[in-house]
């Protein structure tokens, strides 16, 4: 057991306060309840056979290499097929969500009128429809083939949850990558992709 220090000190003449006593007791209690580490557990006390599968973490994935072409007429987020997970959590936990993918534009880059514009695509991960993380920018068609990786974390309650990846295709300005009031001219194909979700339990 590691050395623990008293949180509060009482001196002669102090007004009696049970909170002072409780704070000191809680310092010791926390060492045994929840503060379990190599300071207070001997090596090999808990053998592997005593720990059930997925006791602390569970890893799930959705992998696909089926090409997907987002609808370039939509100005909204679109769900990428074959890259979603429906999971049921036995208890409250933290979800670590990761996604990586590759894509290619079908035509050579063509710039619009100044300020120059280009077709572009962005990605995000949502849990139960709520954003967890998103790419920091739109990826323009001036780079014909590209890939990216995004990651985010979200606390969730026990029960069923849906984790999915979405994309947004639009025409953006080259200089600041903000949306332009122009129609998308080309098409993008999203190829290899993987959603990886790690449940970290208490």
Quote the pLDDT of residue 123. Answer: 96
Question: Is the pLDDT reported for residue 1 higher than 60?
Answer: no
Distances in Å between the Cα of 191 and the Cα atoms of 67, 74, 101, 103, 125 are 5, 20, 7, 5, 17
Q: How confident is the model at residue 3 (pLDDT cuts 50, 70, 90)?
A: low
Provide the β-strand partners of residue 100.
149, 194
Query: 0.85 cut: is pTM over it?
Result: no
Closest CA to 89 of 62, 127, 51: 127
Closest CA to 67 of 82, 79, 77: 82
The contacts found for 47-54 with CB under 8 angstroms, 24 or more apart, are 54/199
| Residues 146-165 pLDDT 10s | 999 999 999 999 999 999 99
| Residues 25-64 pLDDT 10s | 777 777 666 666 666 677 778 788 888 888 889 999 999 9
Mean pLDDT value across residues 19-26: 78
| Residues 79-123 pLDDT 10s | 999 999 999 998 899 999 999 999 999 876 666 556 678 888 999
Q: How many CA atoms lie within 13 A of 105 on its CB side?
A: 22
Q: Which CATH number fits domain 57-201: 2.60.40.10, 3.40.50.300, 2.40.50.90, 2.60.120.760?
A: 2.60.120.760
Quote the pLDDT of residue 91. Answer: 87
Spatial separation of the C-alpha atoms in residues 93 and 198, rounded to whole Å: 10
Residue with more model confidence, 116 or 169: 169
Residue with more model confidence, 136 or 196: 196
- CATH 2.60.120.760 domain range(s) in the chain: 57-201
Quote the pLDDT of residue 120. Answer: 87
């Amino acid at each position: 057991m590691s050395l623990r220090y008293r949180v509060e000190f009482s001196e002669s003449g102090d007004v009696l306060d049970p909170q002072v006593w409780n704070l000191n007791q809680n310092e010791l209690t926390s060492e045994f309840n929840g503060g379990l580490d190599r300071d207070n557990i001997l090596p090999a006390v808990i053998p592997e056979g005593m720990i059930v599968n997925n006791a602390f973490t569970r890893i799930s994935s959705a992998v696909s290499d089926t090409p997907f072409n987002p609808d370039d007429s939509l100005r909204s987020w679109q769900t990428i097929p074959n890259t979603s997970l429906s999971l049921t959590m036995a208890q409250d936990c933290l979800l670590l969500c990761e996604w990586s993918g590759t894509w290619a534009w079908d035509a050579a880059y063509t710039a619009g009128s100044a300020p120059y514009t280009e077709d572009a695509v962005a990605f995000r991960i949502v849990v139960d429809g709520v954003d967890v993380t998103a790419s920091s920018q739109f990826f323009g068609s001036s780079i014909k083939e590209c890939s990216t990786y995004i990651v985010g974390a979200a606390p969730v309650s026990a029960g069923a949850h849906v984790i999915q990846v979405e994309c947004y295709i639009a025409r953006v300005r080259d200089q600041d990558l903000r949306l332009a009031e122009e129609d998308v001219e080309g098409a993008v194909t999203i190829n290899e992709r993987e959603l990886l979700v790690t449940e970290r339990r208490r």
